Copies of this chain bind each other. A is one copy, B any other.
Amino acid sequence: MSASKRQQILDAALVLFVQQGLEGAATAKIAKAAGVATGTLFHHFANKQELISALYLQIKRQMADTLPPLDTDARTLEMASAIWQGAMAWALAHPDKIRFLLAYYQSPFLTAETRKTAKFETLGFVLELLQMGRKEGVIADHPDDLMMEMCHTLFMTSAAYFIDHPQLREDADHQQAAMAMFWNALAKPGHQI
């Protein structure tokens, strides 16, 4: 019951944050939407900032948990493609979560701490994928951190694009173009698709 109230609050918060912004969504509104009392929110989260951080981390973890495990025997392109498609399917099934990540990635409400935790927890596999691709000779030899930033942004932009244009979700041209641009940005010359 109590765990469920915590989750009810997180669920309501997500919706309101996306609709009305981080400050537009007052804690009282969130509590009401969650069907709990104002005070209850503060039993589960020390303050609003912690609620936001908890939500951010939860979403990041949910997305990470959904991805297929890295198979180091597979070809990098195939592995990347499988992950891309898994992540995209999850993104399209949870548009509010993507919007939340996008909108508040830069917010002063999110501590550097939270951002860092999220990055390490959820972007680790990207690094492995890049290294796997270099071994295979298909991924360019650019600095890791820059490549990781690009991976992140290319995926999030694509996801946002398909969320904003739902009629294009099934469009093979667009879907394949998004993945191609992603891959080609990372690929070593001669290994484009």
Contacts and interface: CB of A to CB of B under 8 A. Distances in A.
Contacts of A187: 184, 192
A186 interface: yes
B189 A193 contact: yes
A161 B146 contact: yes
A146 B177 contact: yes
Contacts of A99: 106
Nearest to A141: B177
Contact of A24 (B108, B150, B193): B108
In this complex, which of A146, A187, A189 has the most chain B Cβ atoms within 10 angstroms of its Cβ?
A146
Given A150-B157, A154-B154, 15 more contacts: A140-B177, A140-B180, A142-B173, A142-B174, A143-B174, A145-B161, A146-B161, A146-B174, A146-B177, A149-B157, A150-B181, A153-B153, A154-B185, A184-B189, A184-B192
Interface of A: 19-24, 99, 102-104, 106-109, 140, 142-143, 145-147, 149-150, 153-154, 157-158, 161, 173-174, 177-178, 180-182, 184-187, 189-190, 192-193
